[in-house]
Amino acid sequence: LAVQAALFLAMMGSSVSGIALTAVLSSVHRKMLNVSVGAIVWAMALTVHYCIDASSLFGEPWSEDSFLELAGFGLIAVGQATYSGLWNRGVQSKVAEAAAESPVTDAENPAADAQSPLADTESPAVAPAAAVEAVRPVAGAESAAL
């Protein structure tokens, strides 16, 4: 009965922390954390076998397929780092460093011409007030249409 109560509390704690993680980050982050649990369990099994008790049923020795398992967990780690932006930030910082080392001046950049046809036009993201007024519905038009 005590083991069942402990398992129930562990599963409840896992579910509550998963819901909290989803509320703070996203369900994708929650799933990535769930996938990482396999790597943690495998590392603990290796630790139990080699550091605590080699005859324990909870330990696992290094096998011929362990390299493949390690490569799989490494691939998961790279995917998670890429998704969360850690991998991209490293690449972006290297690109920023390279750009800072060799800045392009306006004289070297033909696109920076002051006579550019877009130089005196409005930004396409900003709509003129007349266009906004033309789209706004006329008061009472909803009831007339019904």
Task: Tell me the per-residue pLDDT of 76-119, one tens digit each, with 9 for 90 and over.
Answer: 888 888 887 776 666 666 666 766 676 555 555 555 555 545 44
CB 60 within 8 A of CB 42: yes
Buried b (16+ CB within 10 A) or exposed e, 37-63: eebeebeeeeebbeeeeeeeeebbeee
End-to-end C-alpha distance for the chain, whole angstroms: 66
Between the CA of residue 70 and those of 45, 52, 61, 75, what are the distances in Å?
13, 21, 13, 9
- Supply the pTM of this predicted model: 0.50
| Selected residue with higher pLDDT from 46 and 87 | 46
Element (H, E) at 102: none
- pLDDT tens for each residue of 50-74: 999 988 888 899 999 999 999 999 9
CB 88 within 8 A of CB 79: no
